[in-house]
Structure 1
Amino acid sequence: MIAPVRREAVEIREEWLGVALSTRPADRPAAEAAISELYRLIGLSPPRFHWVSSPLVAMEVVPPGVRHSESVERMGDWAAPRRFAALVDELCRELDTPGPLEYVVRDTVRRPLAQSADSVLFSQLQAAYESRHRQWRRWYEPQSVAWIAHYDALRRLGVAAFTPEQDRRLDLWAAATASCGWWWPREDVCTVSERPAALHTEVWGTHGEVRLHHADGPAVRYPDGWELHSWHGTRVPAWVIADPAPWRVTQETNVEVRRCAIERIGWPAYVDGADLRLLATAPDPGNPGFELRLYDMRRETRLLLAVNGSVERDGHRRRYGLTVPGYLNDPLEAAGWTYGLSAEQYSLLVRRT
C-alpha cells in the first residue's frame, strides 16, 4: 500500500516543483482573482493591484497612493499578512490527517519541497531584503508550494477527504501560488511580482531537492534585469561566475565565496595561477589511491589539497582545499589537524568521507 502511494506522491511533488520553478509570465487575471477571494476570506474587499517586475522592485518602490510608512520594510506592522498567516494555520489544522500514509506524503512531498523552496525561492527574497528586514519569513511561508502540495497530495491520493469549503480555500491558495510570483498584501493595495525570466537549478538531495546553480551565468534573472549568481546553492558575486581570477580570490574576505571561486576555477588551475609553492606530498591513508598536497599559501596560512573520500552524484570525486595553520609542514599532520587528530591518529583511518 505504501509503495504505490509513494510513487504517486513523487509525481505530485515533481508537478508542484515545476510550479515553484516556473519562468512563465504571470497569469495576472488568475492571480488577481485568487488573491481577491483570499482577501474576502479575511474580511477585506479586493485590493488594488500593483504589479512589479521583481522582488527587488517590490522592496524599493512604494505603490502610488501608499504612504512611505507602508513600505515592505515595515511589513511586520501590516495587519493583512498576519490575518492571512492565521488563515493558513487554521486551514492546516482542519486538513491535518495523522497516520502512516500522511507521514509518507510529508516525507516524500512536503519536506523536499520545503527544502527546495528554501534554497531556490527564499534565497531570492534574502537577496532582495539584504539586511533591511529580518522578520519576513512568517508571511512568505504561506506562499510556499510545500504546504499546498502536501494537502493537495493527501486528497488526490485518497488519504484524506476534505469538505467542499476546505477544497475551495486550498484551491485559492494553489491558484495564487501557481499564477504569479511573491505578493505583499496591504489592506487596500497588493503588490505582486512577476516570476523570474530564467531560473537554473541542480538536483542535490535524495528526494529530488534542488538548489540554485549555474556555471555559465546568472542562476536567476528577472525581466527587469535583476539577477543572482549561485554556485551549488551558495550565492556569489557575479565575478565568481564571469571572471574568477586567482587575484580576485586572494582579495576576497568571505570564506564561502572564496571557496566557490576556487572551485569555479578548478583547484589545479588555481594553484598554478596563484603561484603557490608545493611544500610536501603524502599518500592519503584516509582515501587510498589519492594523495595529500600541502602548499604555502600566504603568511601564517597553508593550503592542504585533498580529494573527497565519497563519490559525487556524477560519479566523480571532488577535489577540495582546506586552509591550515602556517606552522604545519607535514600533509598528514595538516590533514589530522582538520579533524582534531594527530598525524599518527589520522594515518590509522580506514577511509575518510
Structure 2
Amino acid sequence: MGTKDIDMWRAAVADTAAAHRADAEAGVRLAYRAAGLAEPEQIVWAQSPRAALCLLGPDEGPCGTRARGRSVREAVRSAPWAAERKRLQEQLGPQGWAQRWHATGGRLWDSTQRLVDRIRAGLVEELAEDRTEEAELRLLLLDAVLGQHDAPWLSVFDTGDGTPLHGPATVARSAGWWWPYERAAVICERPAELHRDEAGRLDRGDGPALAFPDGFALHAWRGMPVPAAFLAELATLTPERIRDEENAELRRVMLEHYGYERYLHESGAEPVHRDETGVLWRISLPDDEDVVMVEVVNSTPEPDGSCRTYWLRVPPDTRTAKQGVAWTFGLAKEAYAPVRET
C-alpha cells in the first residue's frame, strides 16, 4: 500500500464532485453478486442522506419497508469486510497488522469519523421530532454503508478488480452513503461543499461547512456546531453583544472571530499585571472562565523597522505576565529567564 493509494483515499473522503452514478451503480450490483445475492430490482438516488432517510422512512412508497425488503448490509459490507480483515491479520501478524493500519486507515480515521458522527447527529437533530422517531432514524442509520467515508478502512485492504471488497470500494470512489436492501438500494450524492480546518474539523465562518445538493447543511466553527443565523451575525458583532451572549460556547466563538486584541481595546479592559516580559490582560465573562492574555512585543524588528505585538492565550489562573509567557514554553515562572526574547 503506497503513498499514492493513501492520497487517493484521502481525496475520496473530501470529494465534493457530483457522483459518478454509472460507476456507483455498477459497484452496488457487484457487491450484491459477490455476496451471493440477486442484484437489487431498483437503485434509487437521493441528493443527501436526509433525502435518503425520508425515502426509507414511510412504510409505503417505492423504498418503503414492504418494497425494499430486509437490510443486506451484513452480506454486502460487514461479512466480506470481516473476512478480509481476518485474512490480513493472519498474514501480517499482530505487529504487521498494526503497522499496516498506522500507515493507511489510521491516518484518515479520526477526521473522517468526526465528520460521520457530525452528519449522523445533524440528521437526527433535523428529522426526529420525538424519541420514537429518533430511535427509528438511528436504526436506519445503522443500515447505511458509508461510501466515501468508508475510505479509512478500505485503504487498508486490496480492493482491486476481483477482490471481495471491489464492489464497496467502487461505490466509495464514486458516491456518498448508500443503503442496501433485498429489492432496492438507495445511493446518496456526495456533499457539494466541504470546509475543514487544519485539524480536519468542520469549519466555516461565512456559510455552511458541509452542504449537499438539496440544501441539507451543517454549520460549524472549528468543529463546534453553530446555528446558521449565528454565523450571519458574526460580521456585526460588538463587545456588548459578546458580553450579552448567554451560551458560553457561542461566546467563545464570537471572541475568536472578533479577535481578543480588538475586544480588549474596544471593551475598555485594563491590564492586571506588567513586567519585563509583557502585559497581562484579563477578561471576565459571565458563567464562564476568565479569558487571560499576555501581550508581548517581539524584540526582533520587522523589515520595516516595527516590532510586532503578539497576544498569547494563557490559563485563567495566570497571575503575572512572566508566568503566562513561561507557560507557553512549558516552563515554570522561575525557570523562564531568556537571554533574548524572540
TM-score by length of 1: 0.68
Equivalent runs, 1:50-69 vs 2, <5 Å: 50-61=44-55, 62=57, 64-67=61-64
Shift of 1:181: 0.6
Q: Secondary structure at the match of 1:305?
A: strand
**Whole-angstrom CA distance in 1 between matches of 2:265 and 2:120:** 38
**Whole-angstrom CA distance in 2 between matches of 1:179 and 1:139:** 16
Matched, 1:92 2:85: yes
Q: What CA deviation, in whole Å up to 9, does each residue of 1:138-160 have, x standing for no partner?
A: 8556851011111239x9xxxxx
Shift of 1:295: 2.8
Matched, 1:292 2:270: no
**Whole-angstrom CA distance in 2 between matches of 1:212 and 1:254:** 20
Shift of 1:272: 4.5
Q: Which letter does structure 1 place at the counterpart of 2:219?
A: H
**Whole-angstrom CA distance in 2 between matches of 1:78 and 1:249:** 51
Q: Secondary structure at the match of 2:4?
A: helix
Q: Paired residue for 2:293, among 287, 292, 305?
A: 305
Q: Secondary structure at the match of 2:282?
A: strand
Q: Which letter does structure 2 place at the counterpart of 1:297?
A: L
Shift of 1:179: 0.9
**Whole-angstrom CA distance in 2 between matches of 1:306 and 1:44:** 65
Matched, 1:81 2:73: yes
Q: What CA deviation, in whole Å up to 9, does each residue of 1:290-339 have, x standing for no partner?
A: 5431234348964323479xxxxxxx977447667xxx9x557x97xx9x
Q: Which letter does structure 1 place at the counterpart of 2:120?
A: L
**Whole-angstrom CA distance in 1 between matches of 2:277 and 2:172:** 50
Q: Secondary structure at the match of 2:33?
A: helix
Matched, 1:243 2:233: yes
Contact 2:150–2:172, Cα closer than 8 Å, also in 1: yes
Contact 1:50–1:191, Cα closer than 8 Å, also in 2: yes
TM-score by length of 2: 0.70
Matched, 1:217 2:207: yes
Identity over the aligned pairs, expressed in percent?
23
Q: Secondary structure at the match of 1:202?
A: coil
Q: Paired residue for 2:12, among 5, 19, 33?
A: 19
What is the aligned partner in structure 2 of residue 49 from structure 1? 43
Equivalent runs, 1:264-279 vs 2, <5 Å: 264-272=257-265, 275=267, 277-278=269-270
Q: What CA deviation, in whole Å up to 9, does each residue of 1:5-42 have, x standing for no partner?
A: xxx73332122111111111111121112112222334
Contact 1:85–1:139, Cα closer than 8 Å, also in 2: no
**Whole-angstrom CA distance in 2 between matches of 1:252 and 1:281:** 28
Contact 1:276–1:297, Cα closer than 8 Å, also in 2: no
Q: Cα distance 1:46–1:289, how it changes in 2: closer, same or farther (>3 A)?
A: farther
Larger CA Rg, structure 1 vs 2: 2
**Whole-angstrom CA distance in 2 between matches of 1:169 and 1:27:** 21
**Whole-angstrom CA distance in 2 between matches of 1:144 and 1:235:** 23
Equivalent runs, 1:183-262 vs 2, <5 Å: 183-204=178-199, 210-244=200-234, 245-246=237-238, 249-250=242-243, 252-262=245-255
Q: What CA deviation, in whole Å up to 9, does each residue of 1:236-259 have, x standing for no partner?
A: 323454322255544555544332
Instruction: Flag structure 1 segments of 5+ consecutive residues without an equivalent.
Output: 1-7, 72-76, 156-163, 205-209, 309-315, 339-344
Contact 2:281–2:294, Cα closer than 8 Å, also in 1: yes
Q: Which letter does structure 1 place at the counterpart of 2:51?
A: V
Shift of 1:281: 2.7
Instruction: Flag structure 2 segments of 5+ consecutive residues without an equivalent.
Output: 129-133, 297-308, 338-342
**Whole-angstrom CA distance in 1 between matches of 2:121 and 2:289:** 33
Q: Which letter does structure 2 place at the counterpart of 1:88?
A: W
**Whole-angstrom CA distance in 2 between matches of 1:89 and 1:57:** 30
Q: What CA deviation, in whole Å up to 9, does each residue of 1:166-186 have, x standing for no partner?
A: x42222121010111111223
Q: What CA deviation, in whole Å up to 9, does each residue of 1:213-249 have, x standing for no partner?
A: 3344322221112222232333332345432225554
**Whole-angstrom CA distance in 2 between matches of 1:306 and 1:259:** 18
Contact 1:304–1:331, Cα closer than 8 Å, also in 2: no
Q: Which letter does structure 2 place at the counterpart of 1:65?
A: P
Q: How many residues align?
A: 300
**Whole-angstrom CA distance in 1 between matches of 2:289 and 2:202:** 31
